[in-house]
Each structure stands twice: as C-alpha cells, then as structure tokens.
Chains A and B, each alone.
Chain A
Amino acid sequence: MGVSGAWLRVGGGLVVFVLVALGGLSALAGLDVDAALDRFALVMMVAIPAGVAVYALVEYLQTGRLDSITRQFDTRTLVLMPVAMALNIVLGTVVASALKVPIYLDSIGTILVAALAGPLAGAATGFLSNVIWTYLAPPPFGSPFAVPFAVVAVVVGLLAGTFARWGWLRPRRGASGRQLAVGGALSISALIVMTLLALRVWLAAAGADGIAPEADDGAFLILGWVAMSLIVVTAVGLVVLLVRRRDLAAAYILLAGGITGVVAAFMAAPIAASLFGGVTGSGADFVIAAFRQAGADLQQAVLGQSLISDPVDKVITYFVVYLILGAMATRTKARFPQGQYLLPAAADDDDPAVYP
C-alpha cells in the first residue's frame, strides 16, 4: 500500500470527522441545551470515533486488514502504555494538588506513547489514563474529575502521534546557520503568536486597563513566579538545544506544543466551564479567579486561562518527552512501531557505538 492509500484513509477519516462535527454542532445549536451539557465535547465524542471508524473502514476495504492500526498495539506498546498512564496520573496528581501551579503535566505519558507507537496508541493512552484516574486509581491518586476530560486527552494523543510521524520529534543536530536562523525566527514568531493570543483573551476579559491593580495580589504573584520559572526552564532548555547543540528540534517542539495546547484549550475550557464551574481544584483556578475579578464571564475566564496554561503546559510536556526519548537507547526506540521516525536522520545507518 503506497503513500496515496494512506492519504486516502487519513483524508476519509478527516472529512467524516469534520462533517460529523459540523453537523452535530449545527444540529445541537438549534436545541435549547442546558449549560450542564457541553455541546462541543459531546459532538467530539461522536465525531472522533466516527473519523477513526471511517479510517479503519477505508483501510479494511483497501487491504482486507487493519495493519496500520493493530501494528500500533504490539506487545512493547501495550507494556509501555501502563507505565505512561501511571506517569500521567502520578505527575498530574502531584502537580495539581501539591504544586498548585497553573499547568497540568498530565500528558507526558500520552505524548510519549504517541511518539513511539502512533496516534491511535497515544489516543488510547490518553483516554484510558483519564478513565483509570477516576475509576480505578488507588488513593491518594484518584480524581473523580478526570474522566470528562478524556476526550481532550484523546485529541492530544492523536495530534502528538501525527507530529511524531512527521518527524517533528527527531533530533536535528548539526543544522546549518541558515536553518537555525529560520527555525529560531519561526519559533520566536510562534511564541509571539501564542503570547498575543493569550494577551488578547486576557485583555478582552479584563478590559484595557483592568489587570494592573489585581496583579498586586501577593499569592497570585508567587504562583505566577513558580509557573514562570518552569516556563523559563523550558525556554532556556529550548534555546540551549537550538543554539548550543544546534538542534533544530527545539523549533518543532515549540510548534507541536503550541498547536496541541491551543486545540486542547478550546476543547477543555467548555468542559471545565459547564461541568465544574470552571475549576479543577488546581493552581489554574487562581488564574480563573483573576480573570473573573477582572470582569470576565465564566466561559471567557476559563478559555482565557486555558489559552495561557495549555500551550505552555504542552510545550513543557513535549520538551520533557524529547528529553526522555533522548535518554532512551536508539535500538530500544527503533523497536517501537513508530520509532524509526524518532531517530536522527543521519544515524539510521551503521552505528557500532550504539549496537553491541
């Protein structure tokens, strides 16, 4: 099966997904839906499986098998998935309850599996993580509030697996000066876009002059600093990658994290707003409170918080995953279904230093 066959499957899945999503949204828009029913999440819960089902159907019609799907769930991946799920849950719980910073760090495992095994394996990891987090995680790691966000985790896994399949998490060391300049420029523009987006929402929520007085709040400032320091560590790490190790992957990490974060924000915010009055019992609540105080309504405040937290969270997450992948032996990575797309382009030939 050639490249065109794969495109047909992906295209078919995407078209159906978009059709179902749009159809569903317009169908529900006409109805008087209670605030407690999150329209967007509901439609996604139907549209995503529909898209995947059509993808599977097309592949089955093309080849009579489902290789590209079953291949993503080999034994090695099935053994990694539980580790990844535990990582999501343990880190997510610690960050949410102990650190109280407005980021989540609950998708490192999801993105790790997606990178190594593929989009569907990543989606399954995200989904099962959130389900187990609610229904089976032993105390003190249980959280009844994770399961509604399972649909977001699914999308994060799908996106991460696709980006990794495109080689975005491949080390790209030894890039030329021009490539680095272009990559650096692109990264900085991506950062600016993210900042502007966040700022626009912030401003829209707060009004042109609404922020300054409230920002003096002491607790808020300290939490801001904690979050900032995490962000700075990641930013410094990315710059080190880019400049000192001449690794262009930094630009791709930023791009992948930014896109995943914005998509996740638009999906998670309505769920949080409609189910839980916008709060999650974590550090992000303080950001929402600040927005509310500045005069935003609930939906706006939650979306504003999500658009700030999620891209930052996802950039950090992709960076951590990149570090984990870098620490794994080349041949270990290569044994995973999608591992070949994570190896540096130059080193897939003989490398006696790595193999015994």
Chain B
Amino acid sequence: MLTFRDVSYRYAGASRDCLHAVSLDVPAGRVTGLVGPSGAGKSTLCLIAGGLAPRVIGGRLIGEMRLDDEDVSGWPMHRLAEHVTSGLQDPAGQLSLVADTVFDEVAFGPANLGLRRDEILERASTAMRQVGIESLAGRDPRLLSGGQQQLVILAGLMAMRPRVLVLDEPVAHLDARGTREVLDAVAALSGTGTAVLMAEQRTSALASVADSLALVAGGNIVAQGSVAEVLDDAATVALGVEPLPEQRLRMRLRAAGLDPALLDAAPQDPAPLEPRA
C-alpha cells in the first residue's frame, strides 16, 4: 500500500504550491481512481506517487510518502522504481527506442535492475501473458497501434514486479478498442495484488475499473470514497467532472420533473464506453 500524509508540492521556480497537504491511500489489489477537472493536480499527484517528482523533475515536496509503512522519501529513483512504476499518456513517447522487438521492450526494465538473464526472460514472458500480448513478442514495438503500444508499456512496467502501478491517463490517446484492452489489462493486473493509482478524464472509462475514487480539485482531495459516492457527490457535479451516461440521464429526468427511479425497473447494462470524438 502506498500512503500519502499531508503531501504538499511546488514545481521548481513556481511561486505557490500545486498540491496542498494531500492525504491518500492506494491499497494493494485495488484500483484507486483520480477524477477532477484538468489542471486540478491529478498529473502532479501521479508524478509524486511514481517518485518522478521531485526526483526527476525537481521541485519541493513536503509531507510523508510511505510504501507499506516504510518511508521512501530518501530513496533514489532507481531504487523506488523496483517497487513503484509509472505509465504516461503518449504510448509511442514512452518506448525506449532501443528494443527491436516487443519482448526486448518489456525486458528493458528488468534488465536495468541487473537481474540474472533467466529471471529477466521469465519476468518478461509472465508480464506479456498477464497483459495478453504474447502474440506480439517478435514484433517491432514502433510499428504497433497506440493501444498495442500502451499494452507493451504496461507489460514493461509489470515486468518490474512493482507493488504500486501509477497510470496517468493511459487511455487518453487511444480509440475505443485500445481503451477497452488497456482497461481490461489494468483490471487483470490489480487482480494480481498490485496497487493501482489511475488518473483519467473520462469518468466512464475510470468507473469501469476503479474500486474507489478520489476527487482532486485545486490541489486538494475534496472527496474520497466508492465510485458511486464520489460521482453522485454534488461537489463532483459542480466541478464539471463528466458524469456517467446513466447518471446524466437521471439528472435529466429529475430536471424534467420525472422520477429517476423508473430507470431501476429496466434491466441494466454495464456502463458502455463512448468512443472519443
């Protein structure tokens, strides 16, 4: 479990804090979602959770960050990376460009850890199976679709065997199919006991995998709880966070003077994903 206690962060050169005394738990085996308007601090929170801020991008961090009750503030990036890894938005931009094959790309992280050869091969193979990209092993990662590339990145992160996986809008650049595949993989990974922290603009995408949500606004976490609790919260709606389709329908029914409860009579489908325009 990754724990934040009263974490404040200021970018290098900035005049005010971007996050204000944030506290958050990211428990093992569950997907913790971050929602909120853009610019609220979701990405910053992801950078901090992944250890990249302040280690790689500079800035000033105050507060406590613990990994399974161990204070990790003083750890260098390469040590933290053995336990916490991060995925970003742009799939192609994350490729190492030093791997001719998907297999080598997935093995890049474990190889950096200086493991023995057979352990690297085993980890890469297992991670590819977990994510479901065994059939791509011999392909050139640069020539895959965005969704496939994001799966390759995900497998590469999993091959590090992290306790915590941080994902900052991993499906933002993907089409409907790629989104579905990546979300399925995320759900499968959290099923293996990994703690997942995932920020996402599209509420419907996040709601389909998250076990709990935290609402970030103005550099604070303003609401925390189950998916339904947070999304039905008046603050969430007021902040303009995209509601789920069903929620939107209920709100419209209510606004039109109808009883939203009439929806409950109808058989329900799981929240469908909308293709991004």
**Partner-B contacts on A (CB < 8 A):** 75-76, 82, 330-331, 334-335, 348, 350-352, 354-356
Known pairs A330-B13, A334-B12, A355-B11. 20 more at Cβ < 8 A? A75-B56, A82-B97, A331-B13, A334-B13, A334-B58, A335-B12, A335-B58, A348-B13, A350-B13, A350-B14, A350-B15, A351-B15, A352-B15, A354-B13, A355-B13, A355-B14, A355-B15, A356-B11, A356-B14, A356-B18
**Secondary structure dominating the interface of B:** loop
- Contact partners of B58 in chain A: CB under 8 A: 334-335
**Partner-A contacts on B (CB < 8 A):** 11-16, 18, 39, 56-58, 97
- Contact partners of A335 in chain B: CB under 8 A: 12, 57-58
How far does the alpha carbon of A197 sit from the alpha carbon of B97 in the complex, in Å?
A: 45
How far does the alpha carbon of A350 sit from the alpha carbon of B12 in the complex, in Å?
A: 9
How far does the alpha carbon of A226 sit from the alpha carbon of B12 in the complex, in Å?
A: 45
Instruction: Identify the 3 closest CB pairs spanning chains A and B, nearest first.
Output: A350-B15, A355-B14, A355-B11
CB distance from B250 to the nearest CB of A (A): 34
- Contact partners of B12 in chain A: CB under 8 A: 331, 334-335
How far does the alpha carbon of A351 sit from the alpha carbon of B18 in the complex, in Å?
A: 14
How far does the alpha carbon of A355 sit from the alpha carbon of B16 in the complex, in Å?
A: 9
- Contact partners of A330 in chain B: CB under 8 A: 13
The one of A331, A348, A352 that contacts B16, using a Cβ cutoff of 8 Å: A352
Asked if B15 contacts A331 (CB within 8 A), the reply is no
How far does the alpha carbon of A75 sit from the alpha carbon of B77 in the complex, in Å?
A: 11
- Contact partners of A355 in chain B: CB under 8 A: 11, 13-15
A348 nearest in chain B by CB position: B13
B56 nearest in chain A by CB position: A75
B97 nearest in chain A by CB position: A82
A74 nearest in chain B by CB position: B56
How far does the alpha carbon of A22 sit from the alpha carbon of B218 in the complex, in Å?
A: 64
A-B contact pairs, 21 of them (CB 8 A): A75-B56, A76-B56, A330-B13, A331-B11, A331-B12, A331-B13, A334-B12, A334-B13, A335-B12, A348-B13, A350-B14, A351-B13, A351-B15, A352-B14, A352-B15, A352-B16, A354-B13, A355-B14, A355-B15, A356-B11, A356-B14
- Contact partners of A348 in chain B: CB under 8 A: 13
- Contact partners of B18 in chain A: CB under 8 A: 356
Q: Which of B11, B13, B15, B57 has the most CB of A within 10 A?
A: B13
- Contact partners of B11 in chain A: CB under 8 A: 331, 355-356
How far does the alpha carbon of A330 sit from the alpha carbon of B58 in the complex, in Å?
A: 13
- Contact partners of A351 in chain B: CB under 8 A: 13, 15
- Contact partners of B13 in chain A: CB under 8 A: 330-331, 334, 348, 350-351, 354-355
A79 nearest in chain B by CB position: B97
Asked if B39 contacts A356 (CB within 8 A), the reply is yes
How far does the alpha carbon of A330 sit from the alpha carbon of B12 in the complex, in Å?
A: 10
How far does the alpha carbon of A356 sit from the alpha carbon of B43 in the complex, in Å?
A: 11
- Contact partners of A350 in chain B: CB under 8 A: 13-15
CB distance from A263 to the nearest CB of B (A): 33
CB distance from B136 to the nearest CB of A (A): 24
How far does the alpha carbon of A33 sit from the alpha carbon of B244 in the complex, in Å?
A: 81
- Contact partners of A82 in chain B: CB under 8 A: 97
A75 nearest in chain B by CB position: B56
How far does the alpha carbon of A350 sit from the alpha carbon of B18 in the complex, in Å?
A: 14
CB distance from A347 to the nearest CB of B (A): 9
- Contact partners of B39 in chain A: CB under 8 A: 356
How far does the alpha carbon of A350 sit from the alpha carbon of B15 in the complex, in Å?
A: 5
How far does the alpha carbon of A355 sit from the alpha carbon of B53 in the complex, in Å?
A: 15
How far does the alpha carbon of A334 sit from the alpha carbon of B57 in the complex, in Å?
A: 9
CB distance from A208 to the nearest CB of B (A): 56
How far does the alpha carbon of A207 sit from the alpha carbon of B15 in the complex, in Å?
A: 64
- Contact partners of B97 in chain A: CB under 8 A: 82
- Contact partners of A354 in chain B: CB under 8 A: 13
How far does the alpha carbon of A350 sit from the alpha carbon of B56 in the complex, in Å?
A: 21
CB distance from B38 to the nearest CB of A (A): 10
CB distance from A127 to the nearest CB of B (A): 19
How far does the alpha carbon of A356 sit from the alpha carbon of B47 in the complex, in Å?
A: 14
How far does the alpha carbon of A355 sit from the alpha carbon of B11 in the complex, in Å?
A: 7
CB distance from B206 to the nearest CB of A (A): 22
How far does the alpha carbon of A82 sit from the alpha carbon of B96 in the complex, in Å?
A: 12
How far does the alpha carbon of A76 sit from the alpha carbon of B18 in the complex, in Å?
A: 23
- Contact partners of A356 in chain B: CB under 8 A: 11, 14, 18, 39
CB distance from A103 to the nearest CB of B (A): 30
How far does the alpha carbon of A82 sit from the alpha carbon of B12 in the complex, in Å?
A: 26
B18 nearest in chain A by CB position: A356
How far does the alpha carbon of A331 sit from the alpha carbon of B44 in the complex, in Å?
A: 15
How far does the alpha carbon of A354 sit from the alpha carbon of B18 in the complex, in Å?
A: 13
How far does the alpha carbon of A244 sit from the alpha carbon of B14 in the complex, in Å?
A: 30
How far does the alpha carbon of A76 sit from the alpha carbon of B13 in the complex, in Å?
A: 19
- Contact partners of B14 in chain A: CB under 8 A: 350, 352, 355-356
How far does the alpha carbon of A331 sit from the alpha carbon of B13 in the complex, in Å?
A: 8
B58 nearest in chain A by CB position: A335
CB distance from A314 to the nearest CB of B (A): 30
CB distance from A137 to the nearest CB of B (A): 15
How far does the alpha carbon of A166 sit from the alpha carbon of B13 in the complex, in Å?
A: 21
- Contact partners of B16 in chain A: CB under 8 A: 352
How far does the alpha carbon of A114 sit from the alpha carbon of B57 in the complex, in Å?
A: 20
CB distance from A170 to the nearest CB of B (A): 16
B96 nearest in chain A by CB position: A79
